[in-house]
Amino acid sequence: MTFPVTRAVRPLPLRRRLASLAVLLLACVVALPAQAERLRELASFAGVRDNVLVGYGLVVGLDGTGDQTMQAPFTGQSLTNMLSQLGITVPEGTNMQLRNVAAVMVTADLPPFSQPGQRLDVNVSSVGNARSLRGGTLLMTPLKGADGDTYAIAQGNLLVAGAGAEAAGSSVQINQQAGGRIAGGAMVEREVPVKLGADNGLLELQLHEADFGTAQRVVSAINLEFGRPVAAARNGRVIALDGPHNANSRVNFMARVEQINVTPTEAPAKVVFNARTGSVVMNSAVTLRRAAVAHGNLSIVIDTQFGVSQPAPLGEGETVVVPDADIEIQQQEAYLRVVEGASLTEVVNALNALGATPQDLMAILEALKAAGSLRAELEII
């Protein structure tokens, strides 16, 4: 004897229908004519750059949310070493169960021309199993460069953007609490020597994006500004400048160069796929040659009904639940559709007419690229 118990319908779509196109994240920028930009936005002088710093330290003053020393023994070792430097001896074999201390990594960027005494912002991140760094204080931490020398010292109270609460086995958290920031938390102790150009006054200007056309326009604009040939392109990225020998005159020369307006060449056509979010982004140079595309949707619907099989009275059988599944495959009809576009708006309209989801768009654009219709470079991030 069978008694119906419940009925569940669980669709498993392989392709979303046209209605899902409303949530498609297709970020497009309207094609605008190229505009002149200041040279400082397009290039930078060789040697004028930031230097990364990193250090290992301890955060104290946590409200029981620090590292568990059994799982993170390096926290206890670090504290023991720090205490010994302060004249405090911890007996060997002492198991310090400290929950208000956390081992952290401290990072910062040292700007060019930084001088001793200047302040830097630092980021502090937990390396152990601390649950939160909120309310903690970073103890004096040397920040070292790639050469192993100390260039700054960090210390201060952390600002943690995240928040959380726990009670009766339940917890809630907003953002992450294992990292924080200290504004002005590091003081520069040593400068990084920066030499602007060679002794003969030769400077190098490096474009952020290598492009022969832009390099040619930069050379022409600089020479026009100074009225003489002071710039010469070495390749598609590096431009040599004949600058003054005097330090003050060289700075004025560099400031004048940075203020020159240059119209860069149009970027090459490119389509960028984000496989994690499903977004598709393309620039205004993307075009479509005439092509025909067929696209259809396929979905599977599983209708499951559960029943109870009960043995006869005084029987020796067992009552069991018996599932009864009905599987149906539905496929939307697909027709060949002609796609073509010479501008970004036309390309977007042609792709929207296909009624494709982001994942479908990736496959369609790859197929159009293989067929020679899509005139753009594909990049997957």
Please state, in angstroms and as integers, the Cα–Cα distance from residue 203 to each residue in 100, 216, 313, following that order: 52, 17, 99
Residue 47 placed within a domain: no
User: Beta strand 377-380 with 270-274: parallel, antiparallel or unpaired?
Assistant: parallel
Where a domain ends, among 188, 222, 243?
188
For residue 34, give the H/E element and its range. none
Residue 349 has pLDDT above 50, yes or no: yes
- Report pLDDT digits (tens) over 93-127: 776 777 889 999 999 999 999 999 999 999 999 99
- 216 in the same domain as 249: yes
- Report pLDDT digits (tens) over 131-165: 889 989 999 999 999 999 999 999 999 998 866 65
Greater confidence, 21 or 165? 165
- 270 in the same domain as 379: yes
Please report which confidence band the pLDDT of residue 173 belongs to, taking 50, 70 and 90 as the band edges.
low
- 183 in the same domain as 95: yes
Please report which confidence band the pLDDT of residue 36 belongs to, taking 50, 70 and 90 as the band edges.
confident
C-beta of residue 28 within 8 angstroms of C-beta of residue 344: yes
Residue 320 placed within a domain: yes
Neighbours of 155 (CB within 10 A): 16
- 258 in the same domain as 179: no
Greater confidence, 209 or 7? 209
Q: Which residues on neighbouring strands pair with residue 54, listed in sequence order?
A: 107, 144
Tell me what pLDDT residue 213 has: 93
Residue 39 placed within a domain: no
Tell me what pLDDT residue 336 has: 57
Query: For 113, left (φ over 0), alpha (ψ -120 to 50), or beta?
Result: left
C-beta of residue 11 within 8 angstroms of C-beta of residue 329: no
Residue 45 placed within a domain: no
Tell me what pLDDT residue 354 has: 67
- 114 in the same domain as 179: yes
Number of domains in the chain: 3
- Report pLDDT digits (tens) over 263-302: 999 888 888 888 777 788 888 888 888 877 776 655 545 5
Where a domain ends, among 188, 218, 234?
188
- 124 in the same domain as 100: yes
- 123 in the same domain as 200: no
Residue 319 placed within a domain: yes
Q: For residue 145, how far is the Cα from the chain centroid? A: 23
Give the mean pLDDT of the chain.
79
Tell me what pLDDT residue 150 has: 95
Greater confidence, 203 or 175? 203
- 109 in the same domain as 146: yes
Residue 40 placed within a domain: no
State both tokens at 364.
Answer: 């369609």
Q: Where are the alpha helices (DSSP H) in 191-246?
A: 212-226
Tell me what pLDDT residue 331 has: 53
Tell me what pLDDT residue 282 has: 83
- 290 in the same domain as 210: no
Residue 49 placed within a domain: no
- 334 in the same domain as 238: no
- 208 in the same domain as 125: no
For residue 354, give the H/E element and its range. none
- Its domain, for residue 364, covers 1-34+266-381
- 270 in the same domain as 251: no
Residue 43 placed within a domain: no
Neighbours of 206 (CB within 10 A): 16
The span from the CA of 153 to the CA of 343, in Å, is 54
Where a domain ends, among 127, 158, 188?
188
- Report pLDDT digits (tens) over 232-243: 999 999 999 999
Tell me what pLDDT residue 325 has: 61
User: Beta strand 163-167 with 150-157: parallel, antiparallel or unpaired?
Assistant: unpaired
